[in-house]
Amino acid sequence: MSDTTDTGPVLAADGTPLKRSLRRALRAQKLRALALIAPLLIFVLVAFIAPIADMLFRSVENQIVGNTIPMTVEELRDWDGQDVPDEQVFRAMYFDLFLASEAKEHTKLGSRLNYEESGVSSLFRTTGRDVDDMGEVFQEAFEEISPEFEEAQFWYDTMSGGAGAEGNERLMSNQIGRLEQLEASNFSGDAGFVPGAAISDILPNTARAYAAFAAFTHFVDEDVVAEEEPWEAVYAALALDLEDPGTAAALAAYDGPGAELLRQAAAADLPPVEMKAAFIESNKDWNRIEYWEVIHTYSPPYTTGYFLNAVDMEKTTEGIALRSEDERIYGILFKRTMFMSLVITFSCIALGYPIAWILANLPARTANLLMILVLLPFWTSLLVRTSAWKVMLQQQGVINDTLVWLGLVADESRLVMINNQFGTIVAMTHILLPFMILPMYSVMQTIPPSYLRAAKSLGATNWTAFWRVYFPQSVPGIGAGSILVFILAIGYYITPEIVGGTTGTFISNRIAYHISSSLNWGLAAALGSILLAVVLILYWAYDKIVGIDNVKLGG
């Protein structure tokens, strides 16, 4: 007995310990199994999970503000929200907006913020057109001082500090990184320009503006930096730097390329940099505090704003508040979607149960024929079925005509059965009925008819036999059908759109509107997330109450 314990672990035939050998064999098996399902798994991940996750992510994502106007966001961080921001913020906005309008990204930001406050869209659009002119005064002033300021090569030499000068790599890579965020792409390699360390100390704004220009020229325009005359914004930045009295002193000690001309410019009389005035002249709405509040509120990279919108709330300066009553709509729609989906589910149960019962109890041949009738709608286009209901239910439609002909309804008071909740419920009950009948039928088929006979032979009435014996066994079918119908119903879009009028539309119609018309995908994603969460909660509740094990889609 002690022999085995002395010889150590059990060995396999090839001498490796049995445990390890077994594990290896199992792992190989698992990998094989995984390899078999891998195509499906990858397909589901790529084509289903990833897009949904991406879409849901949009409901909180808000990087566009920080990416498009980063300096303004930075300047606004400590803004108290009492008055329209000062010149400092407008200057940051000018340089941000200039680059953004070169990259044609400013209007995107305008549309984004317009969802929160009407008017921001044209604010950015009109001023984006004017930023060139705002800088042009400075460009002209400098060119008056010396025509050399028009020379691309002069600027390149001045800003790079001449050959062999120490470079400010950090500034350059910051600007490239910023441009990457703005353009949402990756730039590799260097821009063929690095601002000189000395000159960027003396002229920080100019160096930054020129570096942004250089990065854009090289990576986006794909031109040579040294051959392009800089943007108007660079001249404005230089004017701004020269306004600082310290700059002239620093320039006096500077001996890099262009130093002489810069000293000359510092001594000259330049137009003052008044960006606030220029912005307000371009569009007087820059003077409206509401717009700045919106920019300020929505500057963080992630926002709860879309979710708040989706539940009829909004961010204000005083915190989160309900929207004014004439703008509340999503609460009504969510409630209506839930209520109508429930009504549709119950109508489907009421109509589907007897049909499924008949199907399950008829001889196979007749049952199959009836089954085809149940399945027939599946093979007809959804649009056709919905439009057919229109023909049936409208005021000059088949049902009303028949009722008038029978004299049950007066010609002047034809029934309104479409473009309202009733129309949606009727059409959707019809369309979703097969999803209720099929699971019920497959469950009922497995209930042996002998149980009912046994109950009756023991003295039960027809009703007792049905209610105490048959019905409890058919509940899993009802459960499965209800889940199917309910979940399909709350996401339904096309039928409510066509027959729902104004009182019979669902939340999905609003989601579709925001996806395809208003392009407010963030809000659409938030509404979709809420809908998904509601379904999951209901599913969970169903599992707790009825138990998901009791749901059967088939025998």
Residues that bind other proteins (CB under 8 A): 103-105, 107-108, 110-111, 114-115, 118-122, 125, 183-185, 219-222, 326-329, 332-333, 336, 394-396, 419, 497, 501-503, 505, 510, 513, 515-521
Q: Find residue 237's DSSP bridge partners.
A: none
Nearest approach in angstroms of CB 228 to other proteins is 12
For other proteins, the closer of residues 4 and 118 by Cβ is 118
Tokens of 442: 């497959």
For other proteins, the closer of residues 184 and 541 by Cβ is 184
Nearest approach in angstroms of CB 481 to other proteins is 30
For other proteins, the closer of residues 305 and 439 by Cβ is 305
- Please, which residues have CB within 8 angstroms of residue 63's CB and are 6 or more apart in sequence? 181, 301
DSSP annotation of 272: P
φ, ψ of residue 70 in degrees (nearest 5): -60, -40
Is residue 278 within 8 A of residue 232, CB to CB? The reply is no
Nearest approach in angstroms of CB 119 to other proteins is 5
CA distance 65 to 295: 8
Nearest approach in angstroms of CB 79 to other proteins is 24
Q: Is 422 exposed, middle or buried, given 0-12, 13-18 or 19+ CB atoms closer than 10 A?
A: middle
> How many CB atoms within 10 Å of residue 323?
17
For other proteins, the closer of residues 74 and 223 by Cβ is 223
Instruction: Return the closest-CA partner of residue 216 out of 249, 182, 250, 247.
Output: 182
CA distance 148 to 298: 43
315 sits in which H/E element: strand 313-316
Four-CA torsion 441, 446, 449, 451, nearest 10 degrees: -120
CA distance 229 to 495: 59
Q: Is 125 exposed, middle or buried, given 0-12, 13-18 or 19+ CB atoms closer than 10 A?
A: middle
For other proteins, the closer of residues 66 and 501 by Cβ is 501
Radius of gyration of the chain (CA): 36
Is residue 209 within 8 A of residue 231, CB to CB? The reply is yes
For other proteins, the closer of residues 446 and 518 by Cβ is 518
Nearest approach in angstroms of CB 251 to other proteins is 35
Is residue 141 within 8 A of residue 270, CB to CB? The reply is yes
Helix axes 330-361, 471-490, angle to 10 degrees: 140
For other proteins, the closer of residues 437 and 498 by Cβ is 498
Nearest approach in angstroms of CB 483 to other proteins is 28
For other proteins, the closer of residues 476 and 500 by Cβ is 500
Nearest approach in angstroms of CB 515 to other proteins is 6
320 sits in which H/E element: strand 319-322
For other proteins, the closer of residues 83 and 326 by Cβ is 326
Nearest approach in angstroms of CB 407 to other proteins is 20
Nearest approach in angstroms of CB 126 to other proteins is 9
Tokens of 365: 């041949």
Tokens of 360: 């399950």
Nearest approach in angstroms of CB 122 to other proteins is 5
Nearest approach in angstroms of CB 138 to other proteins is 24
For other proteins, the closer of residues 198 and 225 by Cβ is 225
What amino acid is encoded at 499 in this protein? V
For other proteins, the closer of residues 111 and 445 by Cβ is 111
Instruction: Return the closest-CA partner of residue 282 out of 406, 405, 396, 123.
Output: 123
What amino acid is encoded at 487 in this protein? I
